[in-house]
């Protein structure tokens, strides 16, 4: 029976992902096991000077700024920034924009600070296991090596008039010394490599005239940059075929920018030409025509917003451009995320996978505040995002604030539908109501269809639990990735979809109908999904949400068609403030349902688990109707 299930699930993967994906993964794994893949990526090639410091400084290439002297951001020496710099200098690092860990000043680049596991830096990257219970979450190893913390140092130097170039280049050289080319965990992920190159490049331009940037320092950096981009180029099909998400967008853009910003490196012209072509293809495929994103994740969509900003700004500064659809989809992405934003604090629903990524932190705002990143792209597109403050991000990109007639949001519009991504949002003065009812033509990461998010007076009263970690114990993974952590319905303890290994789901839920409309007194969402295929045939979850206009009152009706009679229907709600909610529920027979209130958990920041409250209504019937009053 187990073998039969394996075959059946394998066929489901083929149906969901396609033969191209299956064939590539099969050949890739064969090449990895036989050592053929290893031969394409030489370990520790001999040092070579591909580009001298003097040659680099004379390149006819334009960055956001050519040196620190050109940065126009008003100096504001704020204590919070000084404290972050002090922590970094003292060996403390904030992981995933959440918890701060004390690493010490000489923390090994190969060590996982969460699990204590030490990777083998001599091992070829193709032999590194990136998903091991013993090693723990590999993202903890990658986080410092991404070098995103350099932005705190650079911003500290700008605002306080200091020069910590020696600290920055010392860390970079330390990493280069500890990481032989194509060896160890830091060559396992091409996206991490790409971000490392972009972040080093930002530092090189800022400290261009610093005495710490010597010929000897630059020699080591240019050698490492070349071989890292070489790796990304020769492994790009893995991200473009096997992964096909924000990784592919990051890596193809890094190839274009690598070729643009380092034009004399061997292969740079090919990186640039192919990188541009592939980037345009990824944007065309991954960003849907309504501006939603194939990963069904607010945070990963913000990642794409920042990549759009780098792509459009640096290409324009160097007299180049992308195909028109790139700018069009940038504007549509901007609109979608702006619609989903809570205006009071810039936060969005914690919907979809959230691994704490904020590639280029150029301000002091909270990680969950999307306004700085959206404003930078809006300014670049000559649009007004209608935020009260001007973000520091603009100045780091060499932009200046201006008054634009075109606004991102339509005036006086309350209802917004994004049918391709499956999002339906109502924006009122004091409330934001967000419902997901979507199709999955691309793989979902969480079993969260028909999730309802409610915000009132800047507070997320009914919330999505987030992600926590991508590699932890099975029960915790199942909770955060599964239906249980979302404001929707389960049958007994079954998820909407059948969980496979790692990030794989079988039996993808699909939207059969969805609409958002209004009457004289109410806004009404109606949606239906097919789901629970592993539980019974032809099961359909139908959800109707009625929102009273200008009042914090919602009525939610959940109906399960073809519900197996032996299964219990469980309507789930998650909140950190149960005392602010009044919930009353009944089933289709008119029976009043008593809530089960118990401790729950959520993760607003990756790697940080917090307690909240779960409110659960249970019935043997096929319908539950709940009134929610704030």
Confidence of residue 1 (pLDDT cuts 50, 70, 90): very low
3-class SS string, 192-214: HHHHHHHHHHHHHHHCCCCCCCC
- 158 by Cβ neighbours in 10 Å (0-12 / 13-18 / 19+) ranks as buried
Contacts with 414 (C-beta within 8 Å, 6 or more apart), sequence order: 426, 427, 428, 518, 523
Query: Chain centroid to CA 537: how far?
Result: 34
* Average pLDDT of the segment spanning 304-333: 99
Question: Is residue 268's pLDDT more than 50?
Answer: yes
Report yes or no on 6 lying in a domain. Answer: no
Q: CA 421, CA 294: separation in Å to the nearest integer?
A: 7
Question: Is residue 19's pLDDT more than 80?
Answer: no
The candidate with the shortest Cα–Cα distance to 434, out of 346, 336, 302, is 336
Q: CA 246, CA 300: separation in Å to the nearest integer?
A: 7
Report yes or no on 18 lying in a domain. Answer: no
Question: Is residue 411's pLDDT more than 60?
Answer: yes
User: What pLDDT score was predicted for residue 28?
Assistant: 85
* Average pLDDT of the segment spanning 365-394: 97
Report yes or no on 576 lying in a domain. Answer: yes
Question: Is residue 630's pLDDT more than 90?
Answer: yes
Question: Is residue 5's pLDDT more than 80?
Answer: no
Give the residue carrying structure tokens 């009152």: 553
Are residues 619 and 609 in contact, defined by beta-carbon separation less than 8 angstroms?
A: no
Q: What is the pLDDT of residues 527-563, one digit of tens each?
A: 999 999 999 999 999 999 999 999 999 999 999 999 9
**DSSP-derived secondary structure letter, 617:** E
How many structural domains comprise the chain? Answer: 3
| Full domain range(s) for residue 464 | 415-629
Q: Is 247 left (phi over 0), alpha (psi -120 to 50) or beta?
A: alpha
User: What pLDDT score was predicted for residue 4?
Assistant: 65
Confidence of residue 173 (pLDDT cuts 50, 70, 90): very high
Question: Is residue 2's pLDDT more than 70?
Answer: no
Q: CA 110, CA 424: separation in Å to the nearest integer?
A: 44
Q: CA 596, CA 598: separation in Å to the nearest integer?
A: 6
Residue that terminates a domain, selected from 408, 442, 471:
408
Report yes or no on 463 lying in a domain. Answer: yes
Question: Hey, how many other C-beta atoms are within 10 angstroms of the C-beta on 519?
Answer: 9
Residues 394 and 428 occupy one common structural domain: no
Helix (H, G, I), strand (E, B) or coil at 334: helix
Question: Is residue 59's pLDDT more than 90?
Answer: yes
The chain-wide mean pLDDT, for the chain, equals 96
Torsion of CA 345, 349, 352, 355, to 10 degrees: 30
Question: Is residue 519's pLDDT more than 50?
Answer: yes
Residue that terminates a domain, selected from 387, 408, 429:
408
Residues 175 and 319 occupy one common structural domain: no
Q: Listing from the earlier edge strand, what are the strands of the sheet with 610-619?
A: 489-491, 569-575, 610-619, 596-602
Judged by average pLDDT, the poorest of 150-164, 193-207, 462-476 is: 462-476
**DSSP-derived secondary structure letter, 13:** H
Confidence of residue 26 (pLDDT cuts 50, 70, 90): confident
Are residues 150 and 201 in contact, defined by beta-carbon separation less than 8 angstroms?
A: no
Are residues 25 and 502 in contact, defined by beta-carbon separation less than 8 angstroms?
A: no
Are residues 192 and 145 in contact, defined by beta-carbon separation less than 8 angstroms?
A: yes
Q: What is the pLDDT of residues 75-91, one digit of tens each?
A: 999 999 999 999 999 99
Confidence of residue 6 (pLDDT cuts 50, 70, 90): low
Residue that terminates a domain, selected from 392, 408, 424:
408
Report yes or no on 220 lying in a domain. Answer: yes
């Amino acid at each position: 029976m187990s073998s039969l299930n394996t075959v059946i699930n394998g066929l489901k993967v083929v149906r969901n992902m396609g033969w191209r994906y299956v064939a590539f993964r099969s050949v890739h794994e064969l090449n990895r096991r036989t050592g053929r893949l290893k031969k394409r990526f030489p370990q520790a090639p001999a040092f070579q000077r591909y580009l001298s410091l003097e040659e680099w400084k004379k390149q006819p290439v334009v960055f956001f700024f050519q040196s620190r002297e050109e940065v126009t951001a008003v100096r504001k020496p704020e204590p919070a920034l000084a404290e972050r710099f002090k922590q970094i200098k003292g060996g403390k690092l904030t992981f995933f924009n959440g918890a701060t860990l004390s690493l010490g000043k000489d923390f090994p680049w190969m060590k996982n600070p969460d699990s204590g596991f030490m990777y083998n830096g001599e091992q070829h990257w193709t032999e590194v296991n990136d998903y091991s219970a013993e090693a723990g979450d590999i993202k903890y190893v990658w986080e410092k090596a991404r070098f995103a913390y350099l932005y705190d140092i650079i911003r500290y130097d700008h605002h306080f008039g200091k020069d910590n170039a020696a600290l920055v280049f010392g860390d970079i050289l330390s990493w280069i010394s500890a990481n032989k080319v194509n060896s160890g965990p830091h060559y396992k992920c091409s996206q991490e490599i790409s971000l490392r190159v972009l972040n080093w490049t930002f530092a090189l331009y800022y400290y261009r005239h610093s005495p710490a940037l010597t010929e000897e320092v630059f020699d080591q950096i240019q050698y490492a940059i070349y071989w890292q981009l070489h790796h990304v180029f020769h492994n790009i099909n893995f991200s473009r075929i096997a992964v096909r998400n924000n990784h592919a967008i990051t890596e193809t853009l890094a190839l274009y920018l690598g070729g643009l910003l380092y034009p004399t490196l061997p292969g740079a012209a090919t990186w640039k030409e192919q990188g541009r072509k592939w980037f345009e293809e990824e944007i065309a495929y991954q960003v849907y025509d309504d501006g939603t994103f194939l990963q069904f994740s607010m945070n990963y969509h913000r990642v794409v917003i920042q990549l759009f900003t780098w792509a459009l700004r640096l290409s324009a500064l160097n007299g180049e451009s992308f195909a028109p659809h790139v700018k069009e989809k940038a504007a549509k992405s901007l609109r979608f995320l702006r619609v989903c934003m809570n205006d009071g604090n810039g936060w969005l629903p914690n919907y979809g996978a959230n691994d704490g990524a904020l590639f280029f932190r150029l301000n002091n705002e909270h990680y969950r505040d999307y306004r700085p990143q959206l404003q930078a792209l809006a300014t670049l597109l000559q649009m007004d995002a209608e935020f009260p403050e001007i973000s520091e991000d603009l100045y780091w990109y060499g932009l200046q604030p201006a008054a634009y007639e075109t606004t991102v949001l339509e005036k006086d519009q309350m209802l917004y539908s994004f049918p391709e991504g499956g999002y339906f949002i109502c924006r009122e003065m004091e409330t934001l109501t967000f419902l997901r009812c979507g199709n999955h033509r691309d793989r979902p990461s969480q079993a969260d269809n028909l999730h309802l998010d409610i915000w009132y007076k800047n507070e997320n009263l009914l919330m999505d639990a987030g992600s926590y970690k991508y590699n932890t114990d099975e029960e915790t993974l199942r909770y955060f990735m599964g239906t249980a952590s979302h404001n929707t319905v389960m049958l007994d303890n079954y998820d909407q979809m059948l969980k496979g290994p790692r990030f794989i789901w079988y039996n993808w839920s699909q939207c059969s109908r969805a609409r958002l409309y209004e009457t004289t007194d109410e806004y009404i969402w109606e949606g239906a999904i097919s789901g629970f295929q592993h539980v019974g045939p032809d099961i359909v979850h139908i959800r109707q949400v009625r929102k009273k206009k200008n009042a914090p009152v919602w009525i939610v009706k959940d109906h399960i068609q073809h519900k197996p009679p032996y299964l219990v229907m469980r309507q789930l709600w998650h909140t950190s403030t149960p005392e602010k909610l009044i919930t009353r529920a009944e089933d289709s027979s008119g029976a009043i349902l008593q809530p089960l209130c118990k401790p729950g958990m959520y993760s607003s920041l990756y790697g940080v688990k917090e307690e909240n409250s779960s409110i659960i209504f249970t019935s043997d019937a096929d319908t539950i109707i709940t009134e929610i009053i704030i």
